[in-house]
Structure 1
């Protein structure tokens, strides 16, 4: 149960960091109040109204020359870029502190022999009387 909670929390934090650092752009093309094209990955296609407006005024009759009601909207979602810290921002005193802390922390733990038996030279105390039989208390 505890391991699964740790895994879920780790995945949630990883997704949080991923989505907070991700940046993307949304391009939308409106003609009037209507959304004509929508894109997450590339530029949107423009409608024919822009193509008519790009002609020179001498080529088009006055009836086709309307106000351009098309508009392109670009929404940019920028992620955080300040999550990675470089070592260039640390002063000499901070370097000394980190090195001394790591050195002291590593030397805090001393290795020991797991096979070492400390009581091999000692014998158990002599059994003067059997207390369980004396009081008639037996574990079943």
Structure 2
């Protein structure tokens, strides 16, 4: 049960880090009060009723604004998770280097097999101590 809870917590923490660094944009196009189109990451399609205003035309200057409206929601993720090695203090750099060195050396195999007791034979069994003291494992 403890291992299962640990896996759930670690998975949730990974998702939190992923979604905190994720940024996206949602665009919506409204024509009046009605939603015409909404799109993620790209521009929303218009309804085709947008008014092209000509700066030199006198009649366009008196027209009211069109009924169409574009709404953009932007959620920016964190950008400060990129820590360079130079930003660390001397003690932190020393810890990182020693941790990496010890972690890499953890998986190196032994080059020579230590067989110091290869020629040693156990002492001969003269008496069976369990039978002598009548102590048996059941």
Pairwise TM-score range, normalised by the shorter structure? 0.5 to 0.7
> Is contact 1:132–1:138 with CA below 8 Å preserved after alignment?
no
Query: Retained in 1: the 8 A contact 2:25–2:73?
Result: yes
2:85 and 2:93 in contact (8 A); partners too: no
Q: 1:73, CA displacement in angstroms? A: 0.8
Range that drifts further, 28-37 or 66-75:
66-75
TM-score, length-scaled by structure 1: 0.60
Q: Is the 8 A contact 1:30 1:70 kept in 2?
A: yes
Which consecutive unaligned segments of at least 5 residues does structure 1 have? none
| 1-structure distance, mates of 2:21, 2:7 | 21
SS at match of 1:50: coil
3 and 118 in structure 1: CA distance in 2 versus 1, 3 angstrom threshold: farther
* Counterpart-to-counterpart distance in 2, 1:138 and 1:74: 77
Unaligned runs of 5+ in 2: none
Retained in 2: the 8 A contact 1:25–1:40?
yes
Q: Shift in Å at residue 131 of structure 1?
A: 3.9
The within-5 A match list for 1:1-140 is: 12-51=12-51, 54=53, 56-58=57-59, 65-99=63-97, 101-102=98-99, 105=102, 111=110, 116=115, 118=117, 120-129=119-128, 131-132=130-131, 135=134
Contact 2:29/2:71 (<8 A) preserved = yes
Q: Max radius of gyration: which structure? A: 1
The alpha carbon displacement at 1:91 in A equals 3.5
The alignment's C-alpha RMSD in Å is: 4.3
CA distance in 2, matches of 1:27, 1:103: 45
Q: Aligned equivalents of 2:9 and 2:2: distance in 1? A: 11
Displacement of 1:80 after TM fit?
A: 1.4
Deviates more, 1:114-123 or 1:4-13: 4-13
